[in-house]
Amino acid sequence: MNGNKKAPLFALVLLLSCHSGQRIEWRPGQWLLQPDTLNTGIQERWFDTGYTPRDSVIIENLSADHLPSTWNDSGLVWYFNDFTIDDKHNIALAIPALHDSGTIWINGQLVGAQSGELTEQFDLSTFLNSGHNRMAIRVRYHNRPAGITGEVTMFRFFHKKELTKSKLALQQAPQPPDWAKNAIIYEVNVRQYTQEGTFNAFADHLSTLKEMGVNILWFMPIHPIGEKNRKGTLGSYYSISDYYGVNPEFGSLDDFKRLVQKIHDMGMYTIIDLVINHTAWDNPMITEHPEWYSQNHKNEILAPVDDWTDVADLNYDNPELRRYMTDMMTWWVKEIGIDGYRCDVAEMVPGDFWKAAIAEVEKVRPIFMLAEGEAPDLHVNGFHMTYASQMYRLFNAIARGEKKISEIDLYLQREQFQYPQGAMRMRFTSNHDQNSWDATAVTRLGEQGAKAFAVLTFTLPGNPLIYSGQEVGSTKKLDFFEKDLIDWRDSEFRSLYTTLADTYKKHPALYNGSMTRLKSKQSYAFSREKGQDRVLVLVNLTGKTCREKIEFKDLNGNFTELFKGTTLTLHNSAVDIEMQPWEYRVYIAERITR
C-alpha cells in the first residue's frame, strides 16, 4: 500500500480502429485498486469521475493473485482506470470471470453487473465521452483467488447483434405476489404526516390513499431511534436501537399491528423499511455482540460512512448476525403481518445474505421485496423491485435542458440488456432522500414539469412511487431530524395521481405490456400494448410549444384522451400534433384494428 499518498490515475489513450473487418482490442496496462473494508464506496460515490482513490495499490496486470497478501481474504475491492478515447461510437466492454461478483460504472453511470465464470459484454456507446473517461469496477470476493481474474478489454463492434446479452438478462427475476404486480407504492413519513405524528392519526388518512389508488404502503423506519450520537432533536429514522420495537413517538407495537390489519381490511398491503446494514450506537447488540460489528485494528467499532456518525456498521461475515437478522425479518411477517420490506442501502449488505434470508422468510408466505439500489444482481438475490435512480437523475437533467429526450430510449434499452426478465423497476420523481437533500419534485422540475414527469412514472415500463406530500404538489423540503409537518393543501396533483393510478391498475398494457417508441423528434411519444389493451402517451418535456408530425405506424382505431376526453382516430398514418409547454396526453384505445 502507498499509505496516505495519492497515486495518480493512469491516462491511457484508446485508439480503436477497424481495418478489413478486424476487431482491435484495448487492454489497459495498469489499474488502481482500493479496498472497501467498510463497504462505503456506493454511498460515497467512488464511481463518480471526481473521486480520487486513496490507500490504493498499483496493479500492472490482472491475474488470480494480484490482491496484496495484507488484504482480507474476503471483502470488497474497487478497480479504477482513466482512459482517453477519440471515437466513442460502437465500443463494447468485455469483463472476464469475476470471483465472485462485480458492478461496472463508466463516467459515474451504472453499466451493469457481472458474476461467475463467463465473460460479459457491455455496449458502452451511450456511456463514453470523446476524450477523458473513468472506469470503476466494484468486486465482492470470498476467499482467494479473487477479484478480476483476467484482462478487461474494449473493442469496436459493427452490429449490436455481435454482442451477447448479459447473463443476468437471460435469467428470470423472482415473481412477486400477484397483488404486487401492478404495485403503486406510497411512501409514508409518519413523523411529518400529521400534527400528532402517530400511527393512529395516520390511520384516519387511509381512505384518502385508497381513493387515490395506492395499493402498497411503504413505511419509513418505524423502530426506536438511538439517542447516542443522535443527529438533531428527534434523530434519523435510520438509526435503529431496537429491531423488535416501535418508535414511541409513533405509538405502540399494538397500534402498528392494528394499522396493518386495517390496511389489509381495505385491500392494501404494508411494507416497512428494513435497515440492517448498521444500527444505532445504543442498540443493545453493540454491547452484547460487539463481534457483530465492523472494527478497526484497535477493536473500535466503526461507522459505515464518515458522515453517518449516528450509526455503527454491521459485519455480515458473522453467521450469528445473519441468523439474528433472518429471524427478525421472519418475526415481523409472521407475528405482525407485514407483507414485505423496502431494504435500505441493499447493495451494502452481501447478496448471499439476502438470497438466503428472503428464501427463509418466504417459508411463512410470499412477500414483496424492494431494494434501495439498482445493481441488476439484486434481482437474482431475491428482490422483485429495484430503484431506477439513474432515470430519476435523467428526468432532472432533461428538465434542466442538459439531456435530450432520446436518452430515455437509451436508458430503457440498457435496462433490457442488463436486468433479468421480469425485473420490476421503481420510477419516481421524489422520495424521502430526494425531498430532504435535493429539493421537492416541483422545485426541481417546475410545477408543470413535475406533472409531466409524473405521467411518465405511471406510463413507462416499471412501477410508480408517490412520496408523502407529492399528491398536493408540496414545495417544502422536510427536515430529516426534526418535526416538520407536510404542507397539506388543495392541489391539482391529487386529481392527477388519482387518474393515473386508476388507469394504471385498469390497463395491463401499463404494468405488464410491451412498449413501442413512436417516431417523434420534439415530444416523447410511445405506445404500450398488452393483447387488445393499448395506451398511447405523448409528453412535451420542454418549456416550449411543440409542433410536429408524429407517425402512428400500425395503429388503427379510435382513442380517447384520458384527461380532456378528446378523441384521436388513427389510420396507420402520421398526424400533425401541437402541444403546449409540458403538456401531456394519454390516449386509451376504444377499438384496435390491424
Query: What was the pLDDT predicted at 555?
Result: 85
pLDDT in tens, 256-276: 999 999 999 999 999 999 999
Rounded CA-CA distance 313/300 in Å is: 11
Q: Which residue has the cell 391529487?
A: 494
> Could you tell me if residue 436 is left (phi over 0), alpha (psi between -120 and 50 degrees) or otherwise beta?
alpha
- 433/332 same-domain check: yes
In this prediction, residue 30 has a pLDDT band, given cuts at 50, 70 and 90, of confident
Is residue 490 domain-shared with residue 549, that is, in the same domain? no
CATH number at 365 reads: 3.20.20.80
Instruction: Give the DSSP per-residue string, 498-528.
Output: HHHHHHHHH-HHHHH-EEEE-B-SSSEEEEE
**Cis-peptide, bond into residue 145, ω within 30° of zero:** yes
Domain boundary among 453, 483, 506: 506
Q: Number of structural domains, the chain?
A: 3
pLDDT in tens, 530-560: 998 999 999 999 999 999 999 888 888 899 9
Orientation of helix 389-399 relative to helix 447-459, angle to 10°:
140
**Can you tell me the distance from the alpha carbon of 164 to that of 220, in angstroms, rounded to the nearest whole number?**
40
Domain of 125: which CATH number? 2.60.120.260
Report if residue 569 sits inside a domain.
yes
Q: Which domain holds residue 92?
A: 11-164
Q: Same domain, yes or no, for 531 and 565?
A: yes
CATH number reported for the structural domain that contains residue 526 in this entry:
2.60.40.1180
Tell me the pLDDT tens digit for each residue of 452-504. Answer: 999 999 999 999 999 999 999 999 999 999 999 999 999 999 999 999 999 99
Residue 313 belongs to some domain of the structure: no
Looking at the structure, tell me whether residues 137 and 37 fall in a common domain: yes
Specify the pLDDT at position 59.
83
Cα–Cα distance between 455 and 431 in angstroms, integer? 16
Identify the pLDDT of residue 141.
Answer: 83
Weakest mean pLDDT among 89-98, 105-114, 447-456: 89-98
User: Is the same domain home to 496 and 556?
Assistant: no
CB within 8 Å of 19: residues ≥ 6 apart: none
Q: How far apart are the first and last CA of the chain?
A: 67
401 and 518: one domain?
Answer: no
Tell me what percent of the chain is helix, strand and coil, each rounded to the nearest 5: 25, 30, 45
Residues 267 and 344 in one domain: yes
352 and 328 together in one domain: yes
Residue at 311 is within a domain: no
pLDDT of res. 199: 98
Residues 474 and 341 in one domain: yes
Residue with the larger pLDDT of the pair 266 and 390: 266
- Among 102-111, 230-239, 348-357, the range scoring the smallest mean pLDDT is 102-111
Examine the domain organization and report whether 77 and 24 are in the same domain. Answer: yes
In a domain, 461, yes or no: yes
Q: Which residues contact 452 (CB under 8 A, 6 or more apart)?
A: 445, 539, 540, 541, 582, 583, 584
Of 506, 541, 559, which closes a domain? 506
- Tell if the pTM clears 0.85, that is, is over it: no
Q: Which of 143, 151, 127, 122 is CA-nearest to residue 47?
A: 127
Q: Which of 452, 487, 506 is the last residue of a domain?
A: 506
Q: How many CB atoms lie within 10 A of CB 191?
A: 25
Q: Is residue 489 part of a domain?
A: yes
| Whole-number average pLDDT of the chain | 90
Same domain, 413 and 461: yes
- 293 located within any domain: no
In the numeric block, the cell 404495485 is attached to: 183
| Cell of residue 572, nine digits | 396507420
Enter the DSSP assignment of 577. E
With respect to residue 260, please indicate whether it lies within any of the assigned structural domains.
Answer: yes
In-domain check, residue 307:
no
Do 433 and 528 reside in the same domain of the chain? no
